[in-house]
């Protein structure tokens, strides 16, 4: 379809939504872990053969999932259009960036949203892994992946509601990474790398901020994650959920040249050992909700903060009440629970297809009324990219 026709479709969708786009759900499968079926799909729908299980849903995504097997558009969100027309959000941003993002944001970020929200649901703990920092992700043509988590309050936490982080401090102080950690990467036959990490309990309504380069093995709580727009990682734990995962996942985002030259030692060079052994990790990275706006109709809280690379809020509107929201720039949102209207657009939680919107810059910077038409709290999660919320709270780093 020619760009002029696609642009006309986008302009019509924006006019119909008065500056707001409804988005279709984007489901993502993983082949190294099963799911507990807690994010809106039945067991039959979530089992996808050699692709594994659909364990994740990506939100307002312009990032393609980096899976070895899967649809060519896996991970990409689609704009909900009439008359059977199809357009990914990535295409919409590319052809109509200033209309969606605002001229200044589009110019600075090259018609990119610059962040990726997702929900994930795993039946076992994710393997101990890290995400490449910018210097290493750039070698394979990708962005770094800093991320943050929020654990919703009304979902079963699963069998392992704790996350392993990092390595014990003495390993770094004694410069013993090669002696202690490297053998697990070379042998690739166990999960015993976890005995050199520590665990934090996952508490509903709270979360963590995890910069790139930090080792972590997330627990089984359903997690609403916000991150940089990337799918880079290196798995460092071989035995997961009773089976040995492919060693190719250790080197997934290592260049062939570095793998050939350095072997498993290259992994040690890509981990941020100082952050991965921070003795004040909890104090510096744990996120509790911080009230940022209170009105008679409800309250809003920062839940993703401590970084300027992205930010996010949780809005709660009481039954039968309204809340007026106004932001500094483009954002997407997920209606997690309840039902109502967002600037007059019907929305409903627990209903993929009715629960996800992109609010363009022009709409976001004007007052928008959010109305709860149901009998329970209307709970909405907002996701922002970089260079929008410069007032996002930052924790005082403890050393």
Domain boundaries, the chain: 26-76+113-285, 289-384
Tell me, yes or no, if the two domains 26-76+113-285 and 289-384 fold the same way: yes
125: which 2 tokens? 């703990």
Residue 260's Cβ-count burial label (10 Å; 0-12, 13-18, 19+) is exposed
pLDDT computed for residue 4 by the predictor: 87
> pTM for the whole thing?
0.96
pLDDT computed for residue 82 by the predictor: 86
What are the backbone angles phi and psi of residue 384, rounded to the nearest 5°?
-120, 150
CATH number, span 26-76+113-285: 2.60.120.10
User: Residue-wise over 170-205: b if at least 16 C-beta within 10 A, else e?
Assistant: ebbeeeebeebbbebbeebeebebbebbbebebebe
pLDDT computed for residue 2 by the predictor: 65
Could you give the CA distance from residue 14 to residue 110 in angstroms, rounded to a whole number?
A: 21
Question: What is the DSSP code string of 262-308?
Answer: HTTHHHHHHS-HHHHT-TTHHHHHEE--EEEEEETTEEEEEEE-S-S
38: which 2 tokens? 């807690």
216: which 2 tokens? 């972590």
Rg (CA), the chain: 21
pLDDT computed for residue 83 by the predictor: 78
pLDDT digits (tens, 9 = 90+) for 228-282: 999 999 999 999 999 999 999 999 999 999 999 999 999 999 999 999 999 999 9
pLDDT computed for residue 56 by the predictor: 97
Per-residue pLDDT of the chain (399 residues; tens, 9 = 90+): 567 889 999 999 999 999 999 999 999 999 989 999 999 999 999 999 999 999 999 999 999 999 989 999 999 999 999 878 899 999 999 999 999 999 999 999 999 999 999 999 999 999 999 999 999 999 999 999 999 999 999 999 999 999 999 999 999 999 999 999 999 999 999 999 999 999 999 999 999 999 999 999 999 999 999 999 999 999 999 999 999 999 999 999 999 999 999 999 999 999 999 999 999 999 999 999 999 999 999 999 999 999 999 999 999 999 999 999 999 999 999 999 999 999 999 999 999 999 999 999 999 999 999 999 999 999 999 999 999 999 999 999 999
307: which 2 tokens? 């970084």
Could you give the CA distance from residue 342 to residue 312 in angstroms, rounded to a whole number?
A: 17
What are the backbone angles phi and psi of residue 136, rounded to the nearest 5°?
-90, -35
Domain 289-384: which CATH number of 2.40.30.10, 3.90.650.10, 3.40.309.10, 2.60.120.10: 2.60.120.10
Could you give the CA distance from residue 148 to residue 312 in angstroms, rounded to a whole number?
A: 10
């Amino acid at each position: 379809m020619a760009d002029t026709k696609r642009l006309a479709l986008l302009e019509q969708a924006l006019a119909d939504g008065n500056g707001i786009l409804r988005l279709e759900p984007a489901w993502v499968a993983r082949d190294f872990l099963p799911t507990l079926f807690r994010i809106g799909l039945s067991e039959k729908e979530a089992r996808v053969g050699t692709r594994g299980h659909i364990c994740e849903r990506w939100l307002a995504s312009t990032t393609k999932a980096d899976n070895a097997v899967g649809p060519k558009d896996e991970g990409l969100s689609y704009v909900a259009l009439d008359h059977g027309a199809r357009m990914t959000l990535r295409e919409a941003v590319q052809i109509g960036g200033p209309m969606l993002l605002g001229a200044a944001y589009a110019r600075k970020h090259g018609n990119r949203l610059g962040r990726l929200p997702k929900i994930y649901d795993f039946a076992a703990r994710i393997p101990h892994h890290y995400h490449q920092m910018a210097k290493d992700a750039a070698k394979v043509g990708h962005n770094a992946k800093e991320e943050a988590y929020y654990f919703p309050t009304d979902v079963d936490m699963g069998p392992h509601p704790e996350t392993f982080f990092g390595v014990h401090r003495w390993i770094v102080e004694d410069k013993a990474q090669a002696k202690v950690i490297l053998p697990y990467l070379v042998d690739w036959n166990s999960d015993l790398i976890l005995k050199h990490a520590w665990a934090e309990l996952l508490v509903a309504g709270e979360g963590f901020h995890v910069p790139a380069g930090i080792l972590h093995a997330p627990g089984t709580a359903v997690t609403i994650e916000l991150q940089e727009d990337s799918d880079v990682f290196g798995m460092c734990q071989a035995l997961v959920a009773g089976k040995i995962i492919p060693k190719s996942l250790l080197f997934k985002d290592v260049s062939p040249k570095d793998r050939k030259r350095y072997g498993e030692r290259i992994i040690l060079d890509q981990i941020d050992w100082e952050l991965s052994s921070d003795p004040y990790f909890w104090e510096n990275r744990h996120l509790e909700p911080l009230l940022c706006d209170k009105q008679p109709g409800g309250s809003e809280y920062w839940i993703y903060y401590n970084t300027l690379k992205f930010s996010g809020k949780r809005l709660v509107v009481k039954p039968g009440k309204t809340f007026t929201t106004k932001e500094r720039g483009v954002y997407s949102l997920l209606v997690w629970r309840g039902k109502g209207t967002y600037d007059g657009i019907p929305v409903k939680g627990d209903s993929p297809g009715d629960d996800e919107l992109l609010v363009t810059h022009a709409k976001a910077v004007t007052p928008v009324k959010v109305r709860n038409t149901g009998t329970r709290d209307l709970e909405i999660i907002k996701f922002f990219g970089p260079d929008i919320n410069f007032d996002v709270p930052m924790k005082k780093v403890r050393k």
